[in-house]
Structure formats: structure tokens, C-alpha cells
Chains A and B, each alone.
Chain A
Amino acid sequence: MACIEARGLRKTYGTTVALDGVDLRIEEGRIVGLIGPNGAGKSTALNAILGLTAYEGELKVLGRNPWTERNRLMTDVCFIADVAVLPRWMKVSQALDYVAGVHPRFDRARAEGFLARTTIKRTSRIRELSKGMVTQLHLALVMAIDAKLLVLDEPTLGLDLLYRKQFYDTLLNDYFDHTRTVIVTTHQVEEVQDILTDVMFIDRGRIALDCSMEAFETRYLELMALPEHAAAARALGPMSERQVFGRSILIYDGVARERLAPLGEVRTPSIADLFVAVMGGKSAPQPQGAEGTAA
């Protein structure tokens, strides 16, 4: 069964179209990165999936309609929407008590186990914790919930590098078990590239790219062309070209590795570079370098 299935998902705010007919299907046991510029519709899509906002079109999450069956859905779905939404007045012990009191799938011992690894004190109020510690606490609460779907909306925004790294490591090592599904949105794309199983680009309310990481690695290649082969490389129809230290870096969609290998160094592009290649071509002007070196 698909964890999430959407057909013709639409959402408008007045005259602004936030989601413009999104079709998507996310299978169980995937870690999906939803990547897009600000205002592309990421949060709207997640809000629709979480039953926080009404929408047009068809949407099923774990076989349920998230808007009309939200109350039942929330037993199986968990989310960290944005950072620092834990109530500042609450004590750590109260947060544990409350979640244990209302969530049928919360394993308190497990949450305590996660917290024991941190320096968070049970008696502290959340307002006394650093931003990183609040995120650790939230993650400890969420990971102790045996949910089928976990949605993370910019979970590491505003955290320093150490906490960000630790966040994803913990998630991968102690939570993900191939039956749960995780959807994550982030601007720090390079940090999630290695943990994703699927990637989706969303732009202006539409899905611009949807592929698994295996497919990603075979389909997209990045060539750092030797200067003498620049013209030959360009002839193979790259999606984009940029200049780094005087060398052309070109990204190709569906060009065989064997054809590129003689022209320079071939590797898998980073999601960030592919994102720029896919999105940049549409909204930003063509890079200057493409013209300059051709002449």
C-alpha cells in the first residue's frame, strides 16, 4: 500500500496558487526529501498531508483522507513542523507526561533513553533550553512514538552544524527501520543527500522532479570537462553548465557514463547542483559562462 497518494492536489489562497495539481505517490519505507525554493508549496503540501489544511483533489495518507479523518490519522502520523514549537512554559517532565497521557503509541522508556544521552534535565523548562536542546527533546519525543509516517518540515533550521549532523544520524540509526516513511523538507540539501531514498523537487506548486536515489545516480551525471573537450561536452546536450576555477562543469540527464568518461571527470551531481540545474533553467537567466567559453 502506498503511504501517500495524491491526484490533482490543489490549494489556493485567494488568487495565489500554492499547489497546482500535484500528483505523487510515496511508498512505505522510504525517506523522501521534498526540495523546493521558498513559497514553492512545500509547507502547503505537508499541511495537506497532515490534515492541517483543506484542499481540492484527491489525497490519501495511510489509506485515509487527512482532512476528514485527521483525528484517527494522527495516531499513526507524527510531525515536527518547523523548529521550536514546543511550548516554552512546559517542563521537560510535563512534556513526557503529557505525550504519554495522550498518545497510545508513545513508549516513555524509549524517550527517557534518548534523553539520557543528552544533557537535558527533567526539571528544566523548555524556555531554559538552548535551541539545539529543544530540537533534541522534540526528536526524543517523536522517535519514541511508533508512527508509520514522520513528517519533518525544516527540522534543523537555525541549528548549528553539530546538532544538525546529530539530528540526522540519530534519525537514521535509531528510528528508520524500512517500514516507516519519513518526509523531510530542508534547505540544507547536502546534509540529507546521503540519507534519502527518494527526492522530489517542487516548484511553483508542481512536482518538477520525482525519482529514487538509485535512479538519480544512474540518470544524472556531472562532468568536469577537460578544457580541450569543452565543445564536445556541450554537444552532448547538458542540462546546465557552470564554471568553477576556469573549468566547465556540466550536468546531464540520461547520457551514458561511457560517453562522458573520455571528456573528463564524471560523478553523481549533488542534489543541490541538480536542483539549481532543474530550477535555474526555468526561473533564472542562463549562466554567463556558457556563452563565454563557447566563443
Chain B
Amino acid sequence: MTLETDAMSDLPPAATATAPKATRPLFWSVRRELWENRSLYFAPATVSAVMLIAMVIGVGRILAAHPDLSRHDAPNPAMLALPYDFAAVAIMLTSFIVAIFYCLGALHNERRDRSILFWKSLPVSDATAVLSKALVPLAVLPAIAYVTTVVTQLVILLLSMVAGAVAGLPASTWMQTPFGDLTLVLVYGLVTQTLWLAPFWGWLLLVSAWSRRAPFLWAFLPPLAVCLVEKVALGSSHFADLLGYRIGGGFHEAFVEPMRNVVRTTGPHMVVNGSPFPQVGVGDLDPARFILAPGLWAGLAVAVAFFFGAVWLRRRREPI
């Protein structure tokens, strides 16, 4: 039996005596998620780019039709804010869809490609691993949505100023755009909706950790089946109402009577123009009501339960 070392002495000696280094498992695990899922930032960026290109074309058409806009009335602030709102809504919606697909794959794909055996060979606990994945819809994606939206809005502002200068609009026109409101509503909206949807993300992660195949179907069909069975068997729709409240109720709880605002701020003129986007201002936020909503806290409790369920499953489930 030969145990002599041969001419491999070009290698540094084994670090048998060195003290263990400090590590940051959570930080690196979140980075790992960004490495693997580039759609987390590519998708919002692409939507933003496509929207900006569309706006350039649209503004070009308006300028071609009305070379001198200075003779028209100055636009009202709500109308000025419209493209910014449009950008924010489109990017938030994109993040929402990206988050759904991300969560369903997060604990499923690593079992399917067996890479979970590599992750588990490293000193990263299941709780840390699942937490890093939960942080993506809870913190990383909202942050990406925020940054993408603000950058997009700055580009829109720049575009507007250039187009306005060409068309002879005074620069003061843009000063009326309610940027403070826009940013505050954006941050508030992202925070409240993320917290409100936490159990939804938790559910998707749980299904991702549990299902052997087709996590998408397992996530959405059983709740749908429960709704149908309840409707057919009992004639009621409590479960459907509960789910509807969870998906849409966040806006209801976080803002003052949203529907009335839509009518008030958009006004008949914009509705005629076919624009369905409500203009929400700072006065429409209702943080106190949101914080006190039992639905928020019940949802967070369920989210925590789903989170620990996902950790429990990741500990025990084997590669598929």
C-alpha cells in the first residue's frame, strides 16, 4: 500500500491549523439565488425597456401630430403622473409573476437536478436555505421592483423634458408632477402588498418543497378544487372569498376607499380616453388601518407556519 506523497508539493499545505474563517451563509445563499435566477432582474428590466421604447414611439407620434403643444392647456398633475404610474404598475405586476415562478421552482428544482445533495454537503442549515429563498419574494424582488421603477420614471422624466422642449412646453410643466407622492405610494404599496401576500409566497414555497412534479398545478388546482366542492356541495363560497381577500384585499386594507379615488382623481376626461389607471396620492394611504387589520396578522402567522413547513420538508425530502 502506497501512501507516500509524490511530486505534488507545488500545492499549498493543507490548512489544518488555521482557525475557521467567519462566514455569511445567508448573504451568500441570497446571492446564489440571484446567480441562478437571472430573470429576477432581467424580467423587470426588460419590461421597463420595452415600455420606454413604446413611450418614445408614442411621444414621437404625438409630436408629429401636434408640433406645438404650447397652445394647448397645461396638463393637470394627475395626467402628468399617468406614465409614471403606468410604469410602476407594469413593473410590480412583472415582479409578481416572476415571484410566482421563482417560488414554485425554489425548492423543487434543486431536488429535481439533485443539486440539493451539493447544497446539503455544505454547512448551511435548512432554515437558512429556505429563509434565503423566502427573502427573494419578501425583500429582493420588491427592492428590484423599486429600483427598476425609479430608474424607469427618471428616464420618462428625461424623455418628457426633451419632448416638451421640442414642442415648446415650458420646463415648469414638469415641476407639477407629483414625484413625492409617486415615490411614497410606490414604497408604501410595495411594503404593504409584500406583507399582505407573505402567506401566498409561503404557500408556493411549501408546495415547491413538497411536490414531486408539477408544483404549479399542486399550488393552484387544490385550492380551486376546494372552492368548487364548497360551491357545489354547500352552495357557499367562503373559501373562495378568503382566497380573493388574500389576493386583492391588501389594496383594500392599505388604501382609503380606493374605488372612490379612482373616480375622483381620474375624472371623466381620462375615463373617456380609456385609461383605467387610478391616481393615488399620499392622502389615500391608510397605514393605521392596514397595521390593525386582523387579516394582515393572520396572514403573517400562516406565512410563518408555511415557512417552517417548508424547512421541515427540505430536511426530509429526497432528491426526485
Name A's B-contacting residues (CB within 8 A): 50, 52-54, 70-71, 74-75, 78-82, 84-91, 94, 97-99, 101-107, 109-110, 113-114, 138, 142, 146, 172-179, 194-195, 197, 213
Q: Which 8 pairs between the two chains have the least Cβ-Cβ distance?
A: A104-B20, A101-B28, A87-B115, A74-B123, A107-B15, A81-B117, A85-B117, A71-B125
- Give the most central of B6, B115, B121, B125: most A CB within 10 Å: B121
Partner-binding segment picked from B29-37, B80-88, B95-103, B301-309 = B29-37
A54-B316, A87-B118 known; A101 and B24 CB under 8 Å?
yes
Whether B22 sits at the interface, judged by CB under 8 Å, is yes
A88-B113, A101-B27, A107-B18 known; A176 and B3 CB under 8 Å?
yes
A-B contact list, 16 entries, CB within 8 Å: A74-B120, A78-B121, A87-B118, A88-B115, A101-B23, A101-B25, A101-B31, A102-B29, A107-B18, A110-B11, A110-B14, A113-B11, A146-B16, A172-B3, A176-B3, A194-B1
Contact B23 A94 (CB under 8 A): no
> Inside 8 A of A74's CB, which chain B residues have their CB?
120-124
Contact A195 B125 (CB under 8 A): no
Which chain A residue shows the least CB distance to B35?
Answer: A94
A102-B28, A174-B5 known; A79 and B121 CB under 8 Å?
yes
Which chain B residue shows the least CB distance to A102?
Answer: B25
A54-B316, A85-B115 known; A113 and B12 CB under 8 Å?
yes
Whether B73 sits at the interface, judged by CB under 8 Å, is no
What string of 1s and 0s marks CB contacts (under 8 Å) between B125-137 and chain A?
Answer: 1000000000000
Which chain B residue shows the least CB distance to A214?
Answer: B1
> Inside 8 A of A138's CB, which chain B residues have their CB?
118
> Inside 8 A of B3's CB, which chain A residues have their CB?
172, 176, 178
A71-B123, A195-B1 known; A177 and B14 CB under 8 Å?
yes
Whether B61 sits at the interface, judged by CB under 8 Å, is no
What string of 1s and 0s marks CB contacts (under 8 Å) between B296-318 and chain A?
Answer: 00000000000000000000101
Contact A87 B25 (CB under 8 A): no
> Inside 8 A of B16's CB, which chain A residues have their CB?
146, 177, 179
| Complex-state Cα separation, A54 to B32, whole angstroms | 28
Contacting residue for B6 out of A78, A87, A173, CB 8 A: A173
Contact B8 A174 (CB under 8 A): yes
Contacting residue for A114 out of B11, B21, B318, CB 8 A: B11
Contacting residue for A107 out of B2, B8, B12, B117, CB 8 A: B12
| Complex-state Cα separation, A178 to B284, whole angstroms | 71
| Complex-state Cα separation, A97 to B116, whole angstroms | 18
Contact A173 B36 (CB under 8 A): no
Contact A110 B28 (CB under 8 A): no
What string of 1s and 0s marks CB contacts (under 8 Å) between B91-109 and chain A?
Answer: 0000000000000000000
Which chain B residue shows the least CB distance to A75?
Answer: B123
Contact A82 B18 (CB under 8 A): no
Nearest chain B CB to A33's CB is how many angstroms away? 13
Nearest chain B CB to A202's CB is how many angstroms away? 20
Contact A98 B120 (CB under 8 A): no
What string of 1s and 0s marks CB contacts (under 8 Å) between B18-58 and chain A?
Answer: 10111111011101100110000000000000000000000
Contact B6 A98 (CB under 8 A): no
Contacting residue for A82 out of B12, B114, B125, CB 8 A: B114
Contact B21 A104 (CB under 8 A): yes
A87-B36, A90-B35 known; A103 and B114 CB under 8 Å?
no
Nearest chain A CB to B286's CB is how many angstroms away? 42
A98-B32, A109-B12, A174-B8 known; A86 and B316 CB under 8 Å?
no
A109-B12, A113-B12, A174-B11 known; A103 and B123 CB under 8 Å?
yes
Which chain A residue shows the least CB distance to B127?
Answer: A71
Contact A102 B123 (CB under 8 A): yes
